[in-house]
Structure formats: C-alpha cells, structure tokens
C-alpha cells in the first residue's frame, strides 16, 4: 500500500477521528458535534495481480499482469510472462487501504465551537479515498480537509485533485 499525505499547510483546527463508542459518548457529553461515517470499500482501491511460477526454474514471481511496462510504453521497458513459460498459481486481489482498526465505522469529532463553513484538517480520514493514480499505481489518502456545514461534516475531495505522483 502506498499512501499520500496532504499535511495541514493552512494551519486549520483539527478534527478528532474516533473508532470507539466511549470517545463518541464523551464528545456528546461535552457538547461537541460529531458525525458517524460508515467505512465503504472503494472499488478504485482494489487491484488484481498474478502469482506465477516459472516452469523451467520453479521460482515464483508476483506481477501486475502477464504483460506490463515498467516505464514509458516502449519495448525497452516491456515485461512479458507468457503462459508457456509461466504457470498461473493464483490471481490475487489487493486492497490499497490498510487500517489499524477492523471497525467498519468511525466518527469525526469537531471542536465544541465549530462554525458553519469552517474548514478543518483531518489527520486520519475514515473514507477510503484515492489521492492519485498513474497506470497501475494507486495512492491512498491518509488525511484530508473537511467542511462543517452547520448540519453535517463533508470531506472536501477537491483537495486531492492537486496531488500527483512524482517519480
């Protein structure tokens, strides 16, 4: 899994991300607004790859596909794994967001004095968001910016359009 971080470059106030009910209950007692979100699988973060076994040597290799390019689309960077030379052992599925919790929900807890239209920095986003993609490389956002509307709290996905893969 590769991740990409925005950082809090505008020095916004921070939101707390919670995955436990005792923390949410404490926020409710303190009068802090909070918003519960379900963690949903993002199909853009799912990829498949191949576990192959070289027929001649018996060595295993894990590759994105039987044919791919490691750089620009030229013959010089072409990688090929034909069926006659490589046996398919397993088609693997990978999800590019690994969490420290197995909860399928989380909550954003805002400061007690949050104002409508105020933007907040979220160090740990609940949503599974692609920050950028290039060919088969997918980078996962780990943080973000959220906007309090007065009645809800929305992740500002437009901030990710400025991110790109460099390399």
pLDDT tens string 42-66: 998 888 899 999 999 999 999 988 8
Within this chain, do residues 75 and 9 fall inside the same structural domain, yes or no? Answer: no
Q: Read off the tokens for 132.
A: 């950028």
Give the chain's domain count: 2
Asked if residue 150 is part of any domain, the answer here is: yes
Nearest residue to 122 via CA among 6, 25, 20, 36: 6
Range of the domain at 69: 47-93
Q: Is residue 167 part of a domain?
A: no
Residue 51 sits in the same domain as residue 115: no
> pLDDT tens, 91-143?
998 887 877 777 899 999 999 999 999 999 999 999 999 888 766 677 889 99
Is pTM, for the whole model, over 0.85? no
pLDDT surpassing 60 at residue 73: no
Q: Are residues 55 and 137 in the same domain?
A: no
Tell whether 74 and 36 lie within a shared domain.
no
- The CA dihedral of 64, 65, 69, 71, to the nearest 10 degrees, is -10
Within a domain: residue 151? Answer: yes
Among 50, 42, 91, 55, residue whose Cα is nearest residue 67: 50
Any domain includes 135: yes
Inside any domain, residue 122: yes
Question: Are 125 and 52 within one domain?
Answer: no
More confident residue, 73 or 106: 106
Q: Are residues 104 and 24 in the same domain?
A: yes
């Amino acid at each position: 899994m590769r991740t990409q971080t925005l950082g809090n470059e505008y020095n916004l106030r921070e939101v707390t991300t919670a995955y436990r009910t005792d923390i949410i209950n404490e926020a409710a007692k303190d009068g802090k607004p909070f918003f519960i979100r379900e963690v949903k699988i993002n199909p853009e973060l799912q990829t498949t790859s191949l576990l192959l076994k070289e027929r001649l040597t018996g060595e295993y290799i894990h590759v994105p596909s039987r044919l791919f390019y490691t750089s620009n689309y030229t013959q010089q960077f072409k990688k090929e794994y034909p069926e006659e030379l490589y046996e398919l052992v397993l088609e693997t599925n990978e999800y590019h967001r690994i969490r420290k919790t197995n909860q399928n929900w989380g909550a954003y807890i805002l400061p007690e004095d949050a104002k409508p239209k105020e933007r907040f920095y979220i160090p740990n986003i609940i949503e599974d968001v692609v920050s950028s993609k290039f060919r088969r490389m997918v980078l996962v956002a780990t943080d973000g910016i959220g906007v309090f509307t007065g009645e809800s709290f929305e992740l500002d996905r437009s901030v990710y359009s400025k991110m790109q893969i460099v390399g």
